[in-house]
């Protein structure tokens, strides 16, 4: 009897082990397609870009890239010393300073615009659903279409809408090339960026506003608080972590933005940012090592932003 029991236990253990092995094999089989896609489209390009940044690669050896000469940090030194990258004075910011200014200012304006829109749409009024749909248009419209609409509005030729209006109002006498004016062009790109992406911030903030308990505002009203005091003492503390998350996400995405500036100005007239500079090094100068080094510098800056967010925002969240 004991022998039969031991044999049954052994068969059960072997069966369980076999079933576990089958489940493991099935799990790996199901994960494999996703793993191949992630490796092929994310991990390998990232690792390969790091490798390229330490080698001298151009059109002359592109067909034999894995035998390209190793040059260490020369590509990084070349980028840091390039006049298009480094600070050259108030009239020549360089791509590095331009990128930081463009990213932080446009992200801040985007956040403010999204906050104002969310507060307005959080109030009940007739046609609120239609208003929300209209507010979403800049975000869902194809970037190439809205960019060319803006270029038509700001066109320096008589067909440009803004020039036509300003001339008829007597504000200006001749057509102005707004997107080709250094100093003004970067602000127009920032305004375009804020206009296009404020709906994202609006949606996130609006979702959090609708989750705030109304009794908090009712208690504050009983205590005699006005609208501004309610906003400062209740609304902002309730949505501050959402604001922090939106700021980080939009900062990261804006820092990497290529298409908006490229479609509006092509990176000229004081709007040359790091993503555009990476493209210029790689596909205008065909210096792929230098382009990859620029991309790695961008990645290092983004890592610093993320670490700062984790250390400041997340730590405060845990303490609260």
Sequential pLDDT tens for the chain (320 residues): 444 555 555 555 555 566 666 777 778 888 889 889 988 888 898 899 999 999 999 888 888 888 889 998 999 999 999 988 988 888 888 899 999 999 999 999 999 999 999 999 988 888 888 888 888 889 989 999 999 999 999 988 877 888 888 888 888 888 888 888 888 999 999 999 999 999 999 999 999 998 888 888 888 888 888 888 888 988 898 898 889 889 988 998 999 989 999 999 988 888 999 999 999 999 999 999 999 999 999 999 888 888 877 777 666 655 55
Residue 103 is predicted with a pLDDT of: 94
Closest CA to 192 of 132, 247, 146, 142: 146
DSSP state of 42: I
Q: Are 220 and 289 in contact (CB under 8 A)?
A: no
Q: Are 72 and 54 in contact (CB under 8 A)?
A: yes
pTM above 0.75, yes or no: yes
Task: Round the CA-based radius of gyration of the chain to a whole number and report it.
Answer: 27
Tokens of 237: 């503390």
Q: What is the dihedral of CA 86, 91, 97, 101, to 10 degrees?
A: -170
Report the SS3 class of residue 73: coil
Tokens of 205: 């903030």
Rounded-to-integer distance, Cα 279 and Cα 257, Å:
12
Closest CA to 247 of 115, 116, 139, 111: 111
Closest CA to 276 of 297, 254, 293, 261: 261
Rounded-to-integer distance, Cα 120 and Cα 128, Å:
9
Would you list the domain boundaries of the chain? 74-319
Angle of helix 288-309 relative to helix 236-255, nearest 10 degrees? 170
Rounded-to-integer distance, Cα 190 and Cα 108, Å:
10
The DSSP bridge partners found for residue 55 are 70
Residue 317 is predicted with a pLDDT of: 59
Say which CATH architecture domain 74-319 belongs to.
Orthogonal Bundle (1.10)
Rounded-to-integer distance, Cα 264 and Cα 123, Å:
35
Rounded-to-integer distance, Cα 153 and Cα 138, Å:
15
């Amino acid at each position: 009897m004991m022998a039969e029991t031991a044999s049954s236990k052994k068969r059960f253990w072997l069966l369980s082990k076999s079933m576990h092995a089958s489940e493991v094999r099935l799990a790996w089989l199901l994960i494999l397609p996703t793993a191949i896609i992630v490796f092929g489209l994310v991990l390998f390009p990232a690792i390969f870009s790091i490798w390229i940044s330490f080698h001298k690669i151009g059109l002359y050896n592109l067909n034999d890239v894995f035998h390209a000469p190793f040059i260490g940090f020369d590509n990084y030194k070349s980028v840091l010393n390039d006049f298009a990258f480094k600070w050259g004075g108030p009239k020549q910011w360089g791509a590095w300073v331009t990128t930081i200014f463009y990213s932080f200012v446009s992200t801040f304006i985007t956040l403010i615009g999204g906050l104002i829109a969310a507060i307005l749409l959080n109030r009940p009024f007739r046609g609120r659903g239609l208003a929300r749909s209209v507010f979403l248009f800049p975000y869902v419209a194809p970037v190439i279409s809205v960019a060319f609409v803006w270029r038509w509005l700001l066109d320096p030729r008589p067909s440009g809408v803004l020039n036509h209006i300003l001339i008829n109002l007597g504000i200006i006498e001749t057509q102005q090339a707004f997107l080709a004016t250094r100093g003004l062009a970067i602000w127009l790109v920032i305004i375009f960026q804020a206009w296009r992406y404020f709906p994202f911030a609006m949606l996130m903030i609006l979702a959090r506003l609708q989750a705030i308990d109304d009794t908090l505002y009712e208690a504050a009203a009983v205590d005699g608080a006005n609208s501004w005091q309610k906003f400062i003492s209740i609304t902002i503390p309730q949505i501050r972590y959402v604001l922090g998350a939106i700021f980080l996400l939009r900062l990261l995405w804006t820092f990497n933005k290529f298409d908006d500036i490229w479609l509006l100005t092509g990176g000229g007239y004081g709007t040359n940012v790091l993503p555009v500079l990476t493209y210029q090094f790689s596909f205008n100068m065909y210096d792929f090592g230098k382009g990859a080094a620029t991309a790695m510098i961008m990645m290092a800056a983004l890592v610093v932003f993320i670490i700062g967010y984790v250390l400041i925002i997340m730590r405060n969240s845990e303490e609260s």
